[in-house]
Structure 1
Amino acid sequence: MKHTMNISILLPLCFVFLAVNCVYGDEEKFVTRQEFDKTITTLLKRIDHQQTVINALGKKLEKQSDIGTKTKRHAQTPLIAFSATLQSHQEHLGIHQKVLFDTVITNEGNGYNPHYGAFVAPVSGTYVFSATLLSHAGVSGNFELMKNGTVVYRMYMGGHGGGDYDTAGGSIILKLSQRDDVAIQAMDSVSNGQSVHGDLHSIFSGFLLAEAGEELVVG
């Protein structure tokens, strides 16, 4: 029977309960078998309800434990992040020449090489990159964010006439294998070469979101 164990436990308690509560005022009240059975049935229903609540809480705890495990695994992602800006102007850049962001602000994991002008992935994983470029006054420019020499997206700065400046930029999420490189380069060549304004106005950044084989957790 489903409630055999519950009844064996509850019977002594019920007898104690009935013995203590059999007197109301100065009058004795004798409980009939029907009333006794009804009391047992009510108690068993309460036990079933409590068991349902306990089961629901158990499932909730298991779910939270699972989320905690995934979050912990995600928290073990290696710290790889960089930000580098231009202190010196980049001028007279030829076609496909890299922009060398010469002032490194952050370089956790040593993935960015300011002399090579590229980020080289220390580990395989999902990365986030962003870039903002400022043109020289009255000078336009075409640049590209590259992955292993292949164009990912392009940026155009239209600093035309009147000494106007212009900015261009973007963000991208990329899956990289170890040793893949990401850089920004001049898209094409013009008579005087492409140029990017320095004085810390132009910046290139990136970071590892999750190492390969690691499950991303949101929320």
Structure 2
Amino acid sequence: MFALVCFAVHLASACAFLEETLASGSADHAALVQLIGQEQSLRMNLETQVHSQQENIEKLQASVNTLNKSLTAEKAIIAFEGKLSSTRLGSTEGGRILIFDTVLTNLGGAYSTTTGIFHAPVKGLYLFSVTLLADGRNGTASIELYHNTKLIARPFTGPSSSFVGTGEVALVEANAGDEIFVKASVGGTNAVYDHFSRFSGVLLHAM
């Protein structure tokens, strides 16, 4: 009987200990679940912040790149001047692009002595000048300044008892890649003389 009582007492103690352990374990498990939830929440917030910062960095880098390109364009020196190395007859050169093949200045390399065409390297405001010398005793002479397909200037000389010179300047708002060139007018009876007939241009302001 005594042994049975002792066994019952030990069993009751074991049950109490088991209940206490299970209760404690449940509390620890709940705490652990809560900590895991907090960690996941913090991780998601951190990832969101990192992603947002990366987007901001990319936007700032794009702005810096744009600013650098703008500053480079503004610092670029684009200027050229060329003259004819020989006299060109209006009767044979009419309608053709005149190549000012003696280059005095070609900063930026935008003027081609192969084609006679100036290719605008950047968008901006340009100033172009064309001059010609002709013998007025041989009749009229003229040349034509073009911006792509648009005629923008046409210096002209009339009949005279001696040599006569003329010229024009033009402000051009050009896009990168635009072409500016000079043609001999069709139907001209006079000659455009070398050295004194020139074509020049300069970038005033990049846009």
- TM-score normalized with structure 2 length: 0.60
Letter in 2 for 1:197: Y
The aligned residue for residue 130 of structure 1 is 129
The alignment's C-alpha RMSD in Å is 2.2
> Could you tell me whether the CA contact under 8 Å between 2:74 and 2:206 is conserved in 1?
no
> Could you tell me whether the CA contact under 8 Å between 1:77 and 1:210 is conserved in 2?
no
1:137 is displaced (CA, Å) by: 5.1
Letter in 2 for 1:147: H
d(CA) in 2 for partners of 1:165, 1:196: 11
> Could you tell me whether the CA contact under 8 Å between 1:159 and 1:165 is conserved in 2?
no
**Bigger helix share:** 2
CA radius of gyration, larger in: 2
Number of corresponding residues: 136
**Per-residue Cα deviation, 1:92-135 (whole angstroms, up to 9, x for no partner):** 44432112111000001111112211211111111011111001
d(CA) in 2 for partners of 1:141, 1:197: 10
Kindly report which structure 2 residues correspond to 1:27-106, keeping only aligned pairs within 5 A, or say none. Answer: 76-91=74-89, 92-106=91-105
Which structure 1 segments of 5+ residues have no match? 1-72, 213-219
Aligned: 1:197 with 2:193: yes
Which structure 2 segments of 5+ residues have no match? 1-70
Kindly report which structure 2 residues correspond to 1:167-186, keeping only aligned pairs within 5 A, or say none. Answer: 167-186=165-184
d(CA) in 1 for partners of 2:134, 2:120: 28
**Per-residue Cα deviation, 1:123-169 (whole angstroms, up to 9, x for no partner):** 11110111110013523212211110210021111243x4x111120
- TM-score normalized with structure 1 length: 0.57
Letter in 2 for 1:144: E
d(CA) in 2 for partners of 1:108, 1:126: 16
Aligned sequence identity (%): 30
Letter in 1 for 2:157: M
Letter in 1 for 2:75: T
In structure 2, the CA distance between the partners of 1:113 and 1:159, relative to structure 1 (3 Å rule), is farther
The aligned residue for residue 110 of structure 1 is 109
